[in-house]
Amino acid sequence: MAGSTVTATIGDLPPLESALVTITARIGASCPDDLVNSASASAAGDVNPPNDSDSSQTQLVAIFHDGFESGDTDAWSLAAP
């Protein structure tokens, strides 16, 4: 799903505060090995608009590659380093 967009409305944050948004997704076998996450923010009266966006590349780690697994695998997980 190249180019897919998820939008999260955070609301007002005081200066120097932050917010965390967690997105959980299932990926298929045809998904690329790397995922690029991008985020941006905007606010009225922003005095430093160039610092309002960032991106990060994440390497995806497959835990099922041989097709042997079947049935309900929801309880299985892997934490990537």
DSSP codes joined into one string, 53-78? EEEEEEE---S--SS---S--TT---
Which one has a higher pLDDT value, 27 or 10?
Answer: 10
Residue 36's pLDDT is: 82
Has residue 56 got a pLDDT over 70? Answer: yes
Mean pLDDT of 19-48: 80
Chain mean pLDDT for the chain: 76
Has residue 66 got a pLDDT over 60? Answer: no
**Of the candidates 16, 21, 11, the residue with the CA atom closest to the CA atom of residue 43:** 11
- Percentage of residues of the chain with pLDDT beyond 90: 2
Cα distance between residue 41 and residue 43, in whole Å: 7
Under DSSP, the state recorded for 49 is G
